A and B are shown apart, each in its own frame.
Chain A
Amino acid sequence: MIKLMKYEFRKTLFVKLIVLGAMALAEIAFLVGLWGDKERTLSLSILLLTFIALGGIMIIGLASVVILHRDVSTRQSYMLFMTPNSSTTILGAKLLENGLSIVMAGACFFALGALDITLLFAKMGQLEDLWQMIMSFLHSINQEITLDLPVMLSLMISILGNWISTVTAMYLGVVVANALLNGKRFSGFLSFIIIVILLWAVSWIQMQAADIKASIQTVFLIDAGIALLASLVMYIVTAQIMERKLSV
C-alpha cells in the first residue's frame, strides 16, 4: 500500500510542485507588497493567494482523477494491474494519497492564510478595526454567526471533506465509464450524469442533517463526516466494480 502510494505521489508530483511554486511566488509578492508598502501588489497577491489556495486544492484532486483515467484506459494500466495488488488496494492507495495531499495542502494553505492575516493586522492596525466592525455587524444580524478560529477550521474541514467526496465520485464515474460502459456511445456523458447524481445525493443527505439544531461548526463537521462516509461507500463500490468488471 505504502509503495503504491509512493508511486501515486510521484505521478502527481509535477502538478503539486506547480501549485506549491505558484503559492510561493504569490506569497513572495505578498511579503514584498506588505513591507514595501505597495498596495497594488499587496491586494493583487491576496487575491492570488486565495485563488491559488482554492484552485490548487481543486487541481490536486482533478489531477488524480485524470491519472486514474490514464491508469485504467491506457497501456500504462499494466503497471498497476500486473502487480499482485487487489483493486481495493490500488484504488485505496490512490484515494488515500490524494486525500492526504488535499488535507496537507489545505492545512498548509490554512496556516499560511492565518500567518498572512496576522502579519497584515500587525502591519496595519486599522484593518483589524475594520475586521472587528464586520464581525460585530454580522453578529448583530444573527447571534449564531461568528467567524472565529474553530468556525473557520470546521468550515475548512467541511470544504476539504466535500472536495474529497467529489473526487471519489469522479473516481467512480471514471471506473464506470471504463469498466461498464466501455466502448458504448456517450459513456463519458453517462458517467458525468452518474457523478452529478451521486454528488446531489450526498448534498441532499447533508441538507437533511443541517436541519438539526446545533452550532454552526457542528453542522460543518457533520457535513464533512457525511461527505467522508459517502466517500468510503463510493470507494468500496468503485473497487468492487474494478475487481469484477474492469479489463485494462
Chain B
Amino acid sequence: MLESRSITKKFGSKTAVDQVTVRFEPGHIYAVLGPNGSGKTTWMKMAAGLIKPTSGEVLFDGKPVNIESRKHIAYMSTEPYFYTWMTARDVGRYYEDFFEDFSYATYKRLLERMELTEDMKTSALSSGMMAKLKIAVTLARDAMVYMLDEPFNGIDLLARDEIRQTILERADESKVLLLSSHLVEEMEAIADKAVFIRKGQLVDQVDLEQLRTEKGISMADRYREIYGHEGAQA
C-alpha cells in the first residue's frame, strides 16, 4: 500500500534518510521508532509529498506519491502549522474545503471528546491543546493512510488514552497507520508492528506479538537493544 524504494534525502552534506526500502501493509498499526534526528520525520514528509527525495521514491498503491495520493494520505506533523488567524472551526472548514474524505461531524465529535471548542483561537492554544486539535482534524479524515508524527507529545496522561481510543476507532483492515513517537510505551498495546530507524537507515522490522512470544521482550526492550545509550538520550 505504502512503500519506499531505496529512498534517500540529503540536506546539504547531512544524510537524513539513507537508502530506506520499507513496505507498509493495510490492516496494521506501525510504530515508527528512532531517536530524534533519526530520519522518521523526513521519511514521513517525503511520503506526504512535502519533501522531495534526493533519490529513490515513495509509492502509494504502486504509483509515486503525487497530488492524487494526498487525497488518501493524512499526515500530521509534529509542529503546529495552522494559519495564525484560524479558530478550531476555521481549521475544520479548511480541511472540509480541501479533503473529500473529511467529515465535519466527526471533527466536531472529536473536538468535544478532546475537550476543545470550535471557537478556540489556534494562536491561543497551549501545546497540549494544539496537539489534540491536530489529532482531531487529521483523524476526522477517512483516509487510507494516516501518518501521525509524535501524536502523544505534550499531551497529558488522560488525554493520551483518548487519543489511543481515537486512533483505534480509525484502524481497520483496509488502512495503514504509522505512529512515530519516542514515547514507546504508549504504543506497546495499540501497534502490532514496529519499524526501527537509526541514523537514517532502516535497522529492524518486527511483529510485536511475535517478539513477545519468541523472545519474551517488549518493543521498549528491543528499542533499548538497538539504540543502547544513544536511545536513552532521546
Contacts and interface: CB of A to CB of B under 8 A. Distances in A.
Q: Do chains A and B touch in the complex (CB under 8 A)?
A: yes
Interface of A: 3, 6-7, 10-11, 75-79, 81-86, 183, 244-248
A84 B51 contact: no
B48 A82 contact: yes
B22 interface: no
Interface string B152-186: 00000000000000000000000000000000000
Interface in B83-112: 83, 85, 94, 97-99
Contacts of A247: 45, 50-52
Contacts of A84: 67-68, 70-71, 98-99
Given A75-B80, A81-B49, A247-B52, 14 more contacts: A75-B81, A76-B81, A76-B83, A79-B82, A79-B83, A81-B50, A82-B70, A83-B99, A84-B67, A84-B68, A84-B99, A85-B67, A85-B98, A86-B67
A3 B71 CA distance: 16
Interface residues of B, number: 24
Interface of B: 11-12, 45, 48-52, 67-68, 70-71, 75, 77, 79-83, 85, 94, 97-99
A78 B82 CA distance: 8
B141 to A, nearest CB: 11
A77 B81 CA distance: 7
Instruction: Please report whether the interface of chain B is mostly helix, strand, loop or mixed according to DSSP.
Output: loop
Contacts of A79: 81-83, 94
A85 B71 CA distance: 9
A75 B83 contact: no
A82 B67 contact: no
Nearest to A6: B97
Nearest to B48: A82
18 contacts: A6-B97, A7-B83, A10-B85, A11-B83, A76-B81, A78-B77, A79-B83, A81-B49, A82-B49, A83-B70, A83-B99, A84-B70, A84-B99, A85-B98, A183-B11, A246-B52, A247-B45, A248-B51
Contacts of A248: 50-51
A81 B45 CA distance: 11
A245 B52 contact: yes
A84 B72 CA distance: 9
Nearest to A81: B50
B50 A78 contact: yes
